[in-house]
Amino acid sequence: MAKSRAIAWLDSAWARPVALLAIIVVLWEMGVRIFNIPPYLIPRPYDVIKALWDEGDMLLAQAAPTTIATVGGFALSAIIGIPLAMLIAGSRTVEAYLYPLLVFSQSIPKVAIAPLFVVWFGFGMTPKVISAFLLGVFPVVVAGVQGFKSVEPDMRDLARAMKASWLQTFTMVNLPHAMPAIFAGLKVSVTLAVVGAVVGEFVGANSGIGFVLQRSIGNFELPTMFAALVILALIGVILFWIVDLCERLVVPWHASHRNEFQATA
């Protein structure tokens, strides 16, 4: 019984990344010891774990504003990005005017314009939310446009033949067909929103994981910096998992979740 449980755990979705992470940590420890890398360049895993234990309360407290800024920017990306994708996909005129500007905006480094947000909006949560939004909105728009444009014309013609209104056609044909692509964009967006929030904290903030990273680099506290990176990665993983869970609930019929849907049916 214990052996079967162990085999089942090793075959689970969480076991493989955990095993890979353990291998990476072992290789990290071995590399530091074999090549005699000084701790001011790369700390040992033990030192990072010790920093997580000793400064865990501080890191979790600093993670709160970063998470709030990330969720705020991601929410704006979804609220603004999906309607923009609908407009671009539904009108060639809007696409001709707006799409090039969106691509142009993504070519501008956010680190370069983030100080302007501090000048315009002051220190606080707003510059971080805007920075997270600017990094997160583009993949939502691109994926949404692709999803809405990929709707089969025969499905639209069938809806028209059945005298469906525009709203009925959108809610029963266009939106369900585009949802898998939209969720793909949302998954990318939520991870980029984490980066955007940290960029905002680098430029002008006195709290958050970005602030901890900047202070740790300045003081050469590499174990604390690596511990902050671990917390930052966990924020991204948890938010990504939440979006993935929402996708499984909203579009369980999609091919990527079909086996799970059939197993639970």
Q: Using 50, 70 and 90 to split pLDDT, how confident is the model at 255? A: low
42-264 CATH choice from 3.40.630.10, 1.10.3720.10, 3.30.70.1710, 3.40.50.2300: 1.10.3720.10
C-alpha torsion sign, points 72, 187, 86, 261: negative
Q: Using 50, 70 and 90 to split pLDDT, how confident is the model at 101? A: confident
pTM of the shown model? 0.82
Spatial CA neighbour of 244 closest among 232, 233, 257, 234: 257
Listing DSSP states for 239-253 in one string gives HHHHHHHHHHHH-TT
> With contact defined as beta carbons under 8 Å apart, do 66 and 235 qualify?
yes
From its phi and psi, is residue 58 left (phi > 0), alpha (psi between -120 and 50) or beta?
alpha
Q: What does the block give as tokens for 95? A: 């696409």
Q: What does the block give as tokens for 26? A: 């072992």
Render pLDDT for 182-234 as a digit per residue (tens, 0 to 9). 898 999 999 999 988 888 888 776 778 888 888 888 777 888 888 889 899 99
Using alpha carbons, list the distances in angstroms from residue 22 to 17, 47, 241. 9, 16, 21
28-64 burial code (b ≥16 CB/10 A, e <16): beeebeeeeeeeeebbbbebbeebbeebeeebeebbe
Average pLDDT over residues 154-168: 67
Q: What does the block give as tokens for 211? A: 């602030």
